[in-house]
Chains A and B, each alone.
Chain A
């Protein structure tokens, strides 16, 4: 018996460079960047936030009040993904007990939990609003989305730092392989908030120049972003049976931990290289089969250097010819949402047979084939990377169907 092929059949996305698959892809390939003055923290602060976010545009007016920003972003992505693939449940349907959600996140409910505690510490315990308590749990966006969209199957929240989104897609694919679900929404969400922003700023890892320049000369840190991206994943057999054309195959996943530090990249990148090799092996491919690399590089010098080392180790001399794209130049470091956003970039690259532009690219700090223009390739597979400063490394191989 061969393991069933797991494919994606729909996409929902909301990010600083656009809402919906078309807008996201068009802006990505036009080389647009969503980095600029913050609406949340004042114009001095540079972020890659979802500006002028009006969830009602997609979700209607009811039931939004109780959702925090992360839940709103996730529900918007879910609404788009479900509508795109014809799986949205009618108003009074019970919902498919085999249809669920797997959602990656890095900081989870940090804003809701901090606000809840702040209220207790300033207003007094007696005046804390109990309605805000459910939002303090890390899995609250996933729970809220399940209620809103009648997702009655598995509802897992997955946290693996910056690699969360890729881990979530892998976790969903495993559930489908085991026959534990009919279809799943899989991806990630992260809201930008004061707590994570202040935390990163204090740690000195944000770009002082306010520019996201992965792998580039003068890179001086990351720009924080946010958003949500979800894929509808199912077995190829089921997709075809219901008359849906698969967009791409989720072919192989790899993960390795550096076991080194919670806030420093492992310069030699052995964990990152191991993750890439495992993903290739799981997909039954070799480095020569890969058409382009969607890098996780965010403009943090240590992270960029580590990824470069790891790429060199896996691809050897061929690296000089291999198109590489660093989309975080466009949408910043979207933390728990990054993996799913990058996977979407990889899927688009496969379809267009062009690696996405690296927005604003002027010249590399490392000998990698990056470009401000889309770069053509001819291949049936791409590699997507997410490497975190806490040692969590994950890679995903996508194949065309």
Chain B
């Protein structure tokens, strides 16, 4: 089995585009949450969101008309191009059939559902354009990236909602590990959508002013959008070309609560099993983990249950393991979230700095771990877990390590 490393990262997020801007914002504790601009929220009880600002699709979608695809695909293409640039890779050096893409999402291209209904309401279904249907299938995002970049290997979407990014990175890892591909682009993408916003608003899950995970006064999550793509390649190839290695992927764990569509298992059953499986597969123990990137949405239940799960698995050591939620800054970017968070984990391993949970003012007696409040911290982590949980009871944890030659 080959060792797999992360050698490039591309992102479009509410706190900035590209690895450098993203990481600067995160370490500085900057929030990307602001009043929603992409649609009118006056009928909603809440008005904030985490949208991507100043995104020019035409700058990234170069081989086709950017308007021929949805925003999810545009964001993904931008992230994929940035990731390849960041890795210093040219695709011409690879056999096209040996390069693949694996992406995650919650809603794919919901913009076309909105368009369908807008046309249906205004003019009736007969007025639908002929090409609308082909732009929607759940896997259209990785297909659009493959077409734009000429990737001819495996091409898959794993739409496992808000844990999808970790699933997609896991699949990419598997393909490199087993030698089925020489290079994988893996990540997640989700565009801002009135549908998602409506749903979370109706569940009463959106915070009115800010996202404050693990704080006693946390009032909910904040829907967001974005995309992240990681470059995964075999270690020997990365070493041979003298690549900058951000981190090594050691393994991942997935599980299902099989409990409730929207509510987490109260004792964190699936969350515990996902972390445990990720560590076992990586050949590591909970004692070695020195940073956890929390799912940490900022809803009262999620943060309580995730804390219970970490305490159960890590036992008495739990308070010593720093665990932060960058959703405090980015909001919840849905299917992109765990991919963006995986980049944050890789950069934490690479730079030695762990990003903070901002907006943290008052500790919660039910959530009493070290959430890295408000300020980034230099801790030089060596082994990290990236947690992600989703509707449908899906859980996925990814285990990354600082690259050390003799691992």
Chain A residues close to B by CB (< 8 Å): 95, 97, 100-101, 105-108, 110, 113-114, 116-118, 120-122, 124-126, 128-130, 133-134, 136-140, 142-144, 146-147, 149-161, 164, 167, 171, 174, 178, 180, 195-196, 198-200, 202-204, 255-263, 271, 274, 389-392
Q: Give the chain A neighbours of B107 by CB distance below 8 A.
A: 113, 136-138
Contacts A128-B199, A195-B113 supplied; 11 other A-B pairs, CB < 8 Å: A117-B194, A120-B195, A130-B202, A138-B106, A147-B259, A158-B156, A159-B158, A161-B143, A257-B143, A259-B151, A391-B143
**What are 21 A-B contacts with C-beta separation under 8 Å?**
A106-B139, A116-B199, A134-B391, A147-B259, A150-B258, A155-B160, A155-B392, A157-B160, A158-B156, A159-B138, A159-B159, A160-B155, A167-B156, A178-B174, A180-B281, A195-B113, A202-B129, A257-B100, A257-B152, A257-B155, A391-B143
Q: Give the chain A neighbours of B160 by CB distance below 8 A.
A: 139, 155-157
Determine whether B312 belongs to the interface, using a CB cutoff of 8 Å to chain A.
no
Q: Give the chain B neighbours of A139 by CB distance below 8 A.
A: 159-161, 390-392, 394
- Whether the Cβ atoms of B43 and A125 lie closer than 8 Å is yes
Binary contact track B188-210/A, C-beta < 8 Å → 1, others 0: 00000011001111110000000
- Whether the Cβ atoms of A199 and B139 lie closer than 8 Å is no
Q: Give the chain B neighbours of A389 by CB distance below 8 A.
A: 134
Least distance between A297 CB and chain B CB atoms (Å): 19
- Whether the Cβ atoms of A106 and B258 lie closer than 8 Å is no
Stretch at the interface among B118-126, B286-294, B319-327, B372-380: B118-126
Determine whether B116 belongs to the interface, using a CB cutoff of 8 Å to chain A.
yes
Q: Give the chain A neighbours of B151 by CB distance below 8 A.
A: 257, 259
Q: Give the chain B neighbours of A199 by CB distance below 8 A.
A: 128, 132-134, 136
Least distance between A247 CB and chain B CB atoms (Å): 25
- Whether the Cβ atoms of B159 and A152 lie closer than 8 Å is no
Closest to B118 in A: A121
B side interface size, CB within 8 A: 80
Q: Give the chain A neighbours of B131 by CB distance below 8 A.
A: 203, 263
The 8 closest A-B pairs by CB, nearest first: A199-B133, A143-B392, A133-B199, A138-B159, A155-B256, A263-B134, A159-B138, A134-B261
Q: Give the chain B neighbours of A258 by CB distance below 8 A.
A: 152
Least distance between B219 CB and chain A CB atoms (Å): 17
Q: Give the chain A neighbours of B114 by CB distance below 8 A.
A: 117
- Whether the Cβ atoms of B392 and A161 lie closer than 8 Å is no
Q: Give the chain B neighbours of A130 by CB distance below 8 A.
A: 199, 202-203
Least distance between A99 CB and chain B CB atoms (Å): 10
Determine whether B212 belongs to the interface, using a CB cutoff of 8 Å to chain A.
no
- Whether the Cβ atoms of A159 and B139 lie closer than 8 Å is yes
Q: Give the complex CA separation of A277 and B269 in angstroms.
A: 42
Q: Give the chain B neighbours of A156 by CB distance below 8 A.
A: 158, 160, 167, 254
Q: Give the complex CA separation of A154 and B258 in angstroms.
A: 10
Beyond A95-B258, A159-B158, whether A106 also contacts B147 by CB under 8 A is no
Binary contact track B87-113/A, C-beta < 8 Å → 1, others 0: 000000000110010000111101001
- Whether the Cβ atoms of B156 and A159 lie closer than 8 Å is yes
- Whether the Cβ atoms of A137 and B391 lie closer than 8 Å is yes
- Whether the Cβ atoms of B134 and A147 lie closer than 8 Å is no
Least distance between B344 CB and chain A CB atoms (Å): 24
Most buried by A among B108, B392, B393: B392
User: Residue B261 contacts which of A124, A147, A158, A256 (CB distance < 8 angstroms)?
Assistant: A147
Beyond A114-B116, A137-B107, A137-B161, whether A260 also contacts B134 by CB under 8 A is no
Binary contact track B215-259/A, C-beta < 8 Å → 1, others 0: 000000000000000000000000000000000000000111111
Q: Give the chain A neighbours of B390 by CB distance below 8 A.
A: 137, 139
Q: Give the chain B neighbours of A204 by CB distance below 8 A.
A: 130
Closest to A120 in B: B198
- Whether the Cβ atoms of A200 and B43 lie closer than 8 Å is no
Q: Give the chain B neighbours of A128 by CB distance below 8 A.
A: 198-199, 202
Q: Give the chain B neighbours of A392 by CB distance below 8 A.
A: 139, 143, 155
User: Residue B43 contacts which of A122, A124, A271 (CB distance < 8 angstroms)?
Assistant: A124
- Whether the Cβ atoms of A202 and B128 lie closer than 8 Å is yes
Q: Give the complex CA separation of A146 and B259 in angstroms.
A: 8
- Whether the Cβ atoms of B152 and A256 lie closer than 8 Å is yes
User: Residue B255 contacts which of A154, A164, A198, A261 (CB distance < 8 angstroms)?
Assistant: A154
Closest to B141 in A: A159
Q: Give the chain A neighbours of B198 by CB distance below 8 A.
A: 116-117, 120, 125, 128, 133
Determine whether B137 belongs to the interface, using a CB cutoff of 8 Å to chain A.
yes
User: Residue B153 contacts which of A106, A195, A257 (CB distance < 8 angstroms)?
Assistant: A257
Least distance between B127 CB and chain A CB atoms (Å): 10
Least distance between B249 CB and chain A CB atoms (Å): 14
Q: Give the complex CA separation of A164 and B156 in angstroms.
A: 9
Beyond A156-B167, A159-B137, A259-B151, whether A143 also contacts B157 by CB under 8 A is no
Least distance between B212 CB and chain A CB atoms (Å): 23
Q: Give the chain A neighbours of B129 by CB distance below 8 A.
A: 202
- Whether the Cβ atoms of A136 and B255 lie closer than 8 Å is no
Least distance between B234 CB and chain A CB atoms (Å): 17
Q: Give the chain A neighbours of B150 by CB distance below 8 A.
A: 259
Q: Give the chain B neighbours of A255 by CB distance below 8 A.
A: 153-155
Determine whether B16 belongs to the interface, using a CB cutoff of 8 Å to chain A.
no
- Whether the Cβ atoms of B394 and A155 lie closer than 8 Å is yes
Determine whether B273 belongs to the interface, using a CB cutoff of 8 Å to chain A.
yes
Beyond A134-B261, A155-B392, A156-B167, whether A180 also contacts B256 by CB under 8 A is no
Q: Give the chain B neighbours of A155 by CB distance below 8 A.
A: 160, 254-256, 258, 392-394
Q: Give the chain A neighbours of B130 by CB distance below 8 A.
A: 202-204
